[in-house]
A and B are shown apart, each in its own frame.
Chain A
Amino acid sequence: MERIPILRMGNFLLVTIQVDMHDKLAITLQDDLTNRIADVGAKGVLIDISSLEIVDSFIGRTLANIASMARVLDAETVVVGMQPAVAITLVELGMSLPGIHTALNVETGMEFLQQTVADFQERDHAWDYTED
């Protein structure tokens, strides 16, 4: 079965979507990612969509689902590299992807994830301290 590969880098999972996804492939990615987050205890997910020539309502909804499921599993999601034409079309279509963090490229996306995870750890440590 066709699958989109998921790479692990420390606490983070990285996905680059490089094919024109049919709906089933999008659902498979959603399931695979959710399972991998739980398996490895990932804290962040980065999805690179710079190769995607369109994001329709189904793919948009799949990205939103991934972000929600990741959040429930204590991981942050950032979607990076959306092409300007895709962004214009998405908004006109009526989707503004609420609740999904976005970044212009992989580099700023990784910075966002690292910062978010660092903030969480700091807060956890502060909490430990007050409990002592």
Chain B
Amino acid sequence: MSLLLQILLGVVGTLPSFLSSEGVISSAYSNLFSASIAAIAAIIADIKGGGSASSETQAVLVALQGEYAAIQQNTSADPNVIGDIAEVSNLIGDAISGWNGDVDPSTLPVPPEVL
């Protein structure tokens, strides 16, 4: 749990410098920050509750993804930043799928060897 907390707090702690330096609008930052805090609170509540994945955690992760998606719509931001934001958004989507157990692992292909 301490590792999880450390990483979660690290994410939130780096958000201000990242977003202010990239010129992202303040309201989008504020929303993203709030969504991150909500995600942390829900995940910690899940852990305290025995570690089961609650619908609340799923909801806050979806909300967090939504805030990233909103920033993607900011056409004034650097295209490289938008690309990175899109990538984080996709990662969160993968995490939500993993959290929900949406994909039957027996149906996954064996990926090619990493070169």
The answer to whether A and B belong to the same complex is no
List residues of B whose CB falls within 8 A of some A CB: none
List residues of A whose CB falls within 8 A of some B CB: none
